[in-house]
Structure 1
Amino acid sequence: MPDLQVSIAQHYHERTKYDPQTIHAKSQALNWEEQPIPFKAYRFGTSFDLKPYLSEETNQGDETIWWQRLSKLLVCSYGLTGAIPTNGEPHYLRSSPSAGGLYPAEIYLISRGTPYLPAGLYNYQSKTHTLIHFWQSDVWTALQSACFWNPVLEDTQLAIVVSAVFFRSVWRYQDRAYRRIFLDSGHLLGNIELACAMTDFRPHLIGGFADEAINQLLYFDVNQEGAIAVLPIADLRELRENLPLARTALPTTPQLEYPRIPDGSLLSYFHQATQIPDNPNAKVNWQVPEPKAQQDKYNFPFCLKVSMTCPPIDWSPNLSGLEQTIIHRRSTRAFSGEKLSLDELRAVLDFTYQPQHYIEQNFDRSPDYFDLSLVETFIAVSGIQDLEDGCYYYAPATQELRQIRFKNFRRELHFLCLGQDLGRDASAIVFHTADLRTAIEQYGDRVYRYLHMDAGHLGQRINLAAIHLGLGASGIGGFFDDQVNEVLGIPEDEAVLYITALGRPRKRE
């Protein structure tokens, strides 16, 4: 039997670590004949074409304006933004990044019944930028019940459900795909948050719901697909939908007893173990908990401390600069090795961690995450002007970098990023980590979902800030876990969630 003091989330994390001694033995050749299609098809349903509403002509009626807002929200969240030619069907790119271009997430829209969108269930077809109305009936009460009567659903009329189609990522990343799926979904949540800011909507994040009830509501084959986040979308142009915040995350009981799980079955077992059972009589206190006192970590008297305060990034009137950045964003494939300026790094971190600086540009002062107090940020600096090389801890509350290690780790970074040149040539690499044991004590094994989606959400804000400033950015979900801890000089039980490399993009010859 596994160690009974180790929950299934800790067991999963240890089992799916990449290790230099075993990574090649565990790797499997891809079966290209089984490569999954990253689009879901429906054989029936009414189609609502959103393409005519991509233009924003003025002097339109209320109905057209509403459809324009919804169309922009969806295309900037998960719509197609490009295509790479292949021998067969082109490989389509979307506004939200995805590991390996596999796009495991699906977007569903649930309507309570609005003047413009009949009640029922919709799937967003990103390939054609349409909504498929595949179930026509009043399902809102069932949604409320499945979300344990979250108060945000009392006054909203629309909700987005994000699901994961597991095999799309499992095909390439095996059991470790669970990490990638939730990082990708975090990117998507970041896009939804920012797209809502452009369209006068406000997403309210719900991570605590009865999984089986939501899956049945949307007619999922649970062996293939599962709901992972619910987001009621408040219309800020409707006064009654300017709602107070509610708790976003609910706990599960840590699972300490489990059988020996063979490779290939770990992901599905773990996902099942992190589900919240349906209980119509459950009473949930949805009030937002009091903010926790921020721990002042790595604040050594001798360490170099660098203020990261700076003017906010200007995203242009009506956030047009943000829209263009989302549409044209691409993951950087190669860095030049040139240094970035300290002000550029300051601006990226400011947009990512200080949303209150952007309220005058119509951003949300406090966007929803599951629990950011659990996620820590470290930065390995190899090429920032006026900043000594080394590893730093970023303290969001005081907006400063605190140096914790004092050498250039470029060689080690190249190695721990699985030999990717992005790790070697990056000017700075951002690491998101979490004390997994402490997080599980608070939220149970379901916290593994929350941590990775929050890390992906932060990563997407880093991506967009960097691209807007003309820099390069690339998320890295494959790394030698334990070697990251060694380089950063952090405890072994600090779980590494995500890496984002920043640098000057290499110019194409």
Structure 2
Amino acid sequence: METSHSAALRYHCATKYRPDSIHLLPPADFSRQPMPFKSYQSDRAIDLIPYLPVELFPQVEDERSDPLDLDSWLGRLSRTLYFTYGATARQVWQGGHLIFRAAPSAGGLYPAEVYLVTRGLEDIPDGIHDYFVPNHQLIPVFDGDFLSEISSVAFDAFDPISTRAALVLTGIYERSTWRYHERAYRRLLLDTGHILGNLALYAPFEGFRPVPISCFEDDELNSLFFLDPDLEQVQVVVPLLESSAEPGITPWLVENRHVEERRVDESSGEPGETFADCHRAASLRSTALPMARRALASGGSVSVPSLGNTPLSRHAIDPMGPIELGREILRRRSTRSFARSEVSGDALSAILEAGYRGFREEAL
């Protein structure tokens, strides 16, 4: 039996590049590539395109009805979703179309899926919506008030009454494993981080303060979204708080006293077992919920194995406005082309400081 720490170390050692194994993976069979997005049949799709900025999308002017409140929740969410994970270009590839997105992805596989959970918003029904990237639409998946249940399985980390919207990022393993095999879990975590990075940069322009929460009871939250954990699992929950609102986030520390981590058997060595064991070992059990609530009821703080719930914030080296940032997001691509120019110590320090903000010293 092993803990999450030993499972993570075993996964790291088993999947790191080595000279004697880097060329052993079979070539990718593009005829078997899974679809990089979900497809729902719905006559209630919510069109988000009219709310995009005409400065970057002149054609949007023709799709706008009159009047259109660009500062509504729908407008703010439209632009936040687009500049976080929206479709920025299309290219013919392997007999089909490759849709590039605002966030970079290893191999252009996009294993992350983005859901929007809403409550009490005009023009958006309460419920869980899938962000359909190709058409920039919200597709209703489940109707109802889910924010209270999400907060509950996340150890009451946020106030579901004052919170009106949250993003839930999941990972669909098959989108990446077909090409990267065991290393796919690394790619999935990288992609999730890229999405959070975009969200941190752009969301404040729309008056949002995103707070990523990775502390939740995995099985309960996956079940709430009706996910098959062998195919797709929740990676992070991100309440979108109003910038002017009180934080409303429970300040947790990094300890293991109140939470039971999963223990897993040694991997059988079959493909996919190593990263699956790593994820299972780090997930939280349902027994953590009553223990956490008892700790809060007794006046204590809840401690969970996480780096805490730290609000994301913009930390651009060169301050820019939303249009300038949006233009950069539309222009950039994942690339290995380097300019070979110098980077100042101050610039490098700012990048590192932004990347490691909120991390405890012993976690580095």
TM range (shorter): 0.7 to 0.9
1:202–1:235 contact (8 Å) kept in structure 2: yes
1:283 aligns with 2:288: no
> Cα distance 1:350–1:33, how it changes in 2: closer, same or farther (>3 A)?
same
Distance 1:320 1:349 in 2: 26
What does the per-residue CA deviation read over 1:120-155, in whole Å, with 9 as the maximum and x for residues that have no partner?
A: 110000111000011111222211221111134342
> Cα distance 1:245–1:287, how it changes in 2: closer, same or farther (>3 A)?
farther
1:137 aligns with 2:144: yes
Give the alignment of 1:4-19 within 5 angstroms: 7-19=6-18
How far off its partner does 1:47 sit?
Answer: 0.5
1:222 aligns with 2:229: yes
Give the alignment of 1:61-72 within 5 angstroms: 65-72=72-79
Distance 1:321 1:263 in 2: 48
> Cα distance 1:335–1:144, how it changes in 2: closer, same or farther (>3 A)?
closer
Give the alignment of 1:289-308 within 5 angstroms: none
Corresponding residue for residue 75 of structure 1: 82
Which amino acid letter does the alignment assign opposite residue 71 of structure 1?
S
Corresponding residue for residue 408 of structure 1: none
> Cα distance 1:372–1:128, how it changes in 2: closer, same or farther (>3 A)?
farther
Q: 1:156 aligns with which of 159, 163, 166?
A: 163
2:69–2:75 contact (8 Å) kept in structure 1: no
Any idea what SS the aligned residue of 1:160 has? strand
> Cα distance 1:86–1:178, how it changes in 2: closer, same or farther (>3 A)?
closer
2:260–2:285 contact (8 Å) kept in structure 1: no
Corresponding residue for residue 101 of structure 1: 108
What does the per-residue CA deviation read over 1:421-473, in whole Å, with 9 as the maximum and x for residues that have no partner?
A: xxxxxxxxxxxxx4xxxxxxxxxxxxxxxxxxxxxxxxxxxxxxxxxxxxxxx
> Cα distance 1:173–1:14, how it changes in 2: closer, same or farther (>3 A)?
same
1:191 aligns with 2:191: no
1:212 aligns with 2:213: no
1:335 aligns with 2:343: no
| Pairs aligned (count) | 336
Distance 2:325 2:109 in 1: 24
Distance 2:142 2:261 in 1: 36
What does the per-residue CA deviation read over 1:355-399, in whole Å, with 9 as the maximum and x for residues that have no partner?
A: 9xxxxxxxxxx97x5x35356xxxxxxxxxxxxxxxxxxxxxxxx
RMSD of Structure 2 on Structure 1 (CA): 3.4
What does the per-residue CA deviation read over 1:458-502, in whole Å, with 9 as the maximum and x for residues that have no partner?
A: xxxxxxxxxxxxxxxxxxxxxxxxxxxxxxxxxxxxxxxxxxxxx
> Cα distance 1:87–1:198, how it changes in 2: closer, same or farther (>3 A)?
same
Which amino acid letter does the alignment assign opposite residue 323 of structure 2?
S
Distance 1:206 1:90 in 2: 34
Q: 2:246 aligns with which of 242, 247, 250?
A: 242
1:78–1:188 contact (8 Å) kept in structure 2: yes
Give the alignment of 1:158-177 within 5 angstroms: 158-177=165-184
> Cα distance 1:85–1:3, how it changes in 2: closer, same or farther (>3 A)?
closer
Q: 2:30 aligns with which of 26, 32, 41?
A: 32
Corresponding residue for residue 325 of structure 2: 322
Which amino acid letter does the alignment assign opposite residue 48 of structure 1?
I
Give the alignment of 1:480-495 within 5 angstroms: none
Corresponding residue for residue 278 of structure 2: 270
User: Which 10-residue stretch deviates more, 47-56 or 119-128?
Assistant: 47-56
Which amino acid letter does the alignment assign opposite residue 321 of structure 1?
E
Distance 2:302 2:35 in 1: 38
How far off its partner does 1:95 sit?
Answer: 0.5
Any idea what SS the aligned residue of 1:350 has? helix
Which of these two proteins has the greater Rg computed from alpha carbons? 1
What does the per-residue CA deviation read over 1:294-324, in whole Å, with 9 as the maximum and x for residues that have no partner?
A: xxxxxxxxxxxxxxxxx974333x3332222
Any idea what SS the aligned residue of 2:328 has? helix
2:215–2:304 contact (8 Å) kept in structure 1: no
What does the per-residue CA deviation read over 1:258-289, in whole Å, with 9 as the maximum and x for residues that have no partner?
A: 23421312222322222111244232635999
Any idea what SS the aligned residue of 1:283 has? helix
Which amino acid letter does the alignment assign opposite residue 291 of structure 2?
A
Give the alignment of 1:456-471 within 5 angstroms: none
Distance 1:50 1:62 in 2: 12
Corresponding residue for residue 358 of structure 1: none
Any idea what SS the aligned residue of 1:282 has? helix
Distance 1:141 1:4 in 2: 31
> Cα distance 1:168–1:245, how it changes in 2: closer, same or farther (>3 A)?
same
Any idea what SS the aligned residue of 1:24 has? coil
Which structure has more RCO (C-alpha within 8 Å, separation ≥ 6)?
2
How far off its partner does 1:256 sit?
Answer: 6.7
2:262–2:284 contact (8 Å) kept in structure 1: no
Any idea what SS the aligned residue of 2:16 has? coil
> Cα distance 1:320–1:49, how it changes in 2: closer, same or farther (>3 A)?
same
Corresponding residue for residue 42 of structure 1: 40
Any idea what SS the aligned residue of 1:271 has? helix
> Cα distance 1:6–1:220, how it changes in 2: closer, same or farther (>3 A)?
closer
1:113–1:120 contact (8 Å) kept in structure 2: no
TM-score by length of 2: 0.81
1:207–1:248 contact (8 Å) kept in structure 2: no
Corresponding residue for residue 398 of structure 1: none
> Cα distance 1:6–1:181, how it changes in 2: closer, same or farther (>3 A)?
closer
Corresponding residue for residue 373 of structure 1: 361
Distance 1:208 1:263 in 2: 29
Give the alignment of 1:337-416 within 5 angstroms: 338=340, 340-343=341-344, 346-351=346-351, 353=353, 371=359, 373-374=361-362
Distance 2:99 2:22 in 1: 29
TM-score by length of 1: 0.59
Any idea what SS the aligned residue of 1:197 has? helix
> Cα distance 1:6–1:126, how it changes in 2: closer, same or farther (>3 A)?
closer
Distance 1:224 1:266 in 2: 15
Which amino acid letter does the alignment assign opposite residue 13 of structure 1?
H
1:148–1:283 contact (8 Å) kept in structure 2: yes
2:84–2:199 contact (8 Å) kept in structure 1: yes
